[in-house]
Amino acid sequence: MTGSVMRTALTLVAGFLSFTGVASAQPLSRADAVALALASNPTVKLSLEQIALLEGRILEAKADALPDITWNTLAMRSRDPGLLNSPNFDEFPQEFRDALRPLPGNTFSTSADIRQTIFSFKLGKALEAARVARTSGDQDTQRARQLTALDAIRAYNQLLFSMEQLRVIQTNVQSKQTHVDYARNRRAAGVATELEVLRAEVDLENARAEALRAENDVSGARALLNTVMLRPTSTPVVPTDSLAVEPFVAEFDAAVTEALTARPELQLLRTQERVQTLLIDVTAADAKPSVEFNGGYGFAVRRPRNLFDPDFSSWSAAINLKVPLFDGRRTAGRVAQALAQRNTVTQQIAALENQVRLDVQSAFDALALADRTIQAAELNVVQARRASEMTEANYKLGAATQLDVVDAQQSLRQAENIRNQAMYMHANARATLRFVMGRNPLETN
């Protein structure tokens, strides 16, 4: 019954949109809205760029385990009066001192240098930390996609709710217009007073003002949905889905367990905790021994034609064992900071797990409330509609007053508003519950 009512409502509102010139808009389903939001939302794109950043850090970590090779070429002209500045230069014979005259000269050299870490306590941990951090990029992207999808679904549901509210108000305006026409006819026939006609006309104008506010609400909801999809706010939107109630079967304890396991925010924090643990070992490795190889091969000549002549070649090879003895407890301070960062993440995990349990409870409560409200509202709408029709008939027969008609119409409108609000709450509660459980907020049934 609810699905039929919503389809009828959408048909009526679509007719209104056609009358106002928006019928040419492309139909948009809830899934289409989510897809457009995911494709263009900057939060999602930002998380994808974060993955690229983490990929770069993996390459950087790998570089520490690979040889560092450089090629250097130098061409220099210089003059060095070094001997003239010797402290005992004046002790040389005068004729020798007179013969010494520094001359400028050319120097050309080219060489290849290599540096390779043979062993270090930090290499393996640093590479593992970078790889683990890479998974956090996927988790952050999943979090951004789920949050964006939830925003799109809520904006879509808000548009549906605003349009349904507009339909209810427009129907009320039509009923009041009919009542005004009938009151005028009765006045012309001499069986109704001028005051009765004036009251009906005032009631009609109040309803029309309310319809204008409802139209503005529809425009605002459409702008919000377009904003989520990163489109111009005035882009016409004709939704094809409804606020139809769909069953959601889940046990609370099972939902909490699934949420604690699947929520990407928790997965992200757990990954960060693991990364911080590895970084503690990486930091502590600065106080441990390391072994490094340094080598080079090249040529150094005074005349360019001698370049690459084996007689002018030079080379070196060295194994360097570095054993840190004392660094003023600098490394100990950095390790303490890394431990504090890891412990901070651990506490954030505990706090978020507690919040997740509350989120699941709140979503379950909202869904249960919407369920109970819908069950009561459906029957109430039927009864209110019947009471309104009976009061209208009695008024035409002179057995009911104008105030009775207004009260009956107001009761019907209130009953329909309560039902629409409950259906809106139910749709949002389903999406929210799926979100807090770590699922895709979009129903794919």
Query: The CATH number of the domain where 217 resides is what?
Result: 1.20.1600.10
- Residue 311 and residue 356 in one domain: no
Residue 274 falls inside a structural domain:
yes
- Residue 239 and residue 135 in one domain: yes
258-278 pLDDT, tens digit each: 999 999 999 999 999 998 898
Percent of the chain with pLDDT strictly greater than 70: 94
Residue 220 falls inside a structural domain:
yes
* DSSP states along 66-104: S-EEEEEEEEEEE---TGGG-TTGGGS-HHHHHH-----
Q: What's the pTM value of the predicted model, to 2 decimals?
A: 0.75
- 406 SS3 class: helix
- How many Å apart are CA 50 and CA 48, to the nearest integer? 5
What pLDDT score does 256 carry? 93
Residue 201 falls inside a structural domain:
yes
Residue 331 falls inside a structural domain:
yes
User: C-alpha 131: how far from its chain's center?
Assistant: 23
- Residue 308 and residue 390 in one domain: no
- Residue 159 and residue 283 in one domain: yes
- Residue 273 and residue 353 in one domain: yes
Percent of the chain with pLDDT strictly greater than 90: 39
Burial of 235 from C-beta contacts in 10 A (0-12 / 13-18 / 19+): middle
- How many Å apart are CA 235 and CA 225, to the nearest integer? 10
Of 327, 326, 322, 343, the closest CA to residue 122 belongs to 322
- Residue 41 and residue 106 in one domain: no
- Residue 413 and residue 341 in one domain: yes
In this structure, what DSSP letter does residue 26 have?
P
Mean of the pLDDT values across residues 145-160?
Answer: 94
In this structure, what DSSP letter does residue 399 have?
S
Its domain, for residue 108, covers: 71-118+300-323
User: How many C-beta atoms surround the C-beta of residue 94 within 10 A?
Assistant: 8
- How many Å apart are CA 270 and CA 43, to the nearest integer? 21
Q: Crossing angle of helices 330-396/402-436, nearest 10°? A: 150
Half-sphere exposure of 387 (CA within 13 A, CB side): 17
Residue 445 falls inside a structural domain:
no
- 20 SS3 class: coil
- Residue 107 and residue 163 in one domain: no
Domain total of the chain: 2
Say which range, 199-208, 331-340, 341-350, 402-411, has the weakest mean pLDDT.
402-411
- Residue 275 and residue 226 in one domain: yes
- 69 DSSP β-pair partners: 114
Answer yes or no: are the C-beta atoms of 35 and 231 closer than 8 Å.
no
What pLDDT score does 418 carry? 85
304 band by pLDDT with thresholds 50, 70 and 90: confident
- Residue 24 and residue 130 in one domain: yes
- Residue 97 and residue 145 in one domain: no
- Residue 95 and residue 197 in one domain: no
- How many Å apart are CA 50 and CA 55, to the nearest integer? 9
Residue 444 falls inside a structural domain:
no
Q: Is the pLDDT of residue 333 over 80?
A: yes
445 band by pLDDT with thresholds 50, 70 and 90: low
* DSSP states along 226-239: HHHTTS-TT---EE
What pLDDT score does 196 carry? 81
